[in-house]
Homo-oligomer: A and B are copies of this chain.
Amino acid sequence: MKARLDSIDWQILKELQGDGRITNVELARRVGISAPPCLRRVRALEEAGLIRGYRTLLDEKQLGYEVTAFVMVGLHNQTENDLVAFEAQVKEWPLVRESYMVSGEVDFIMRCTAKDLETFQNFIIRDVTSTKNVDHVRTALTIRRIKDEPNVPIDKPEYF
């Protein structure tokens, strides 16, 4: 694949981040090239894995998911086997929307979505705290969402 991204590639990524359903024709117009090479570039970016996928953001509240919460988990043992075992468990939990292993006082941070508080608490008590090797669990219920741009800040040169 291509070694380095040129400015048109960056523009393409920027536009696609903002609107993942833009037509290729419109995308081409915005970045200043004709449609065929634009489509080829997008395909190449997908092929290279730079584009991980296309998603639709939904309004959880309206869909009946009242609760969003962060769960921080610390484990007793952190051998690679222990970590992998816990990760496998995390992947199985449908309430967990995103999860990272982190450095610091806790080992994992998870963002969870649940239908209501009861469902969430059941999840914590029944599933999380009772999981093998879990040492401590701390939860933080979200009160409101300030920002949600699951995107890379492509056009902020001051941080490049």
Contact = CB atoms under 8 A, between A and B. Distances in A.
Determine how many copies of this chain the complex contains: 2
Nearest to A86: B146
A95 B100 CA distance: 17
A119 B156 CA distance: 13
A63 interface: yes
30 contacts: A13-B58, A16-B56, A17-B55, A17-B56, A20-B53, A21-B54, A50-B59, A50-B63, A51-B56, A52-B57, A52-B59, A53-B57, A55-B56, A58-B151, A63-B152, A70-B100, A94-B153, A95-B153, A95-B159, A97-B153, A98-B149, A99-B147, A100-B143, A100-B144, A101-B144, A103-B141, A103-B143, A109-B142, A110-B147, A113-B152
Interface of A: 13, 16-21, 48-60, 62-63, 65, 68-70, 87, 90-91, 94-106, 108-110, 113-115, 119, 123, 138-153, 156, 159-160
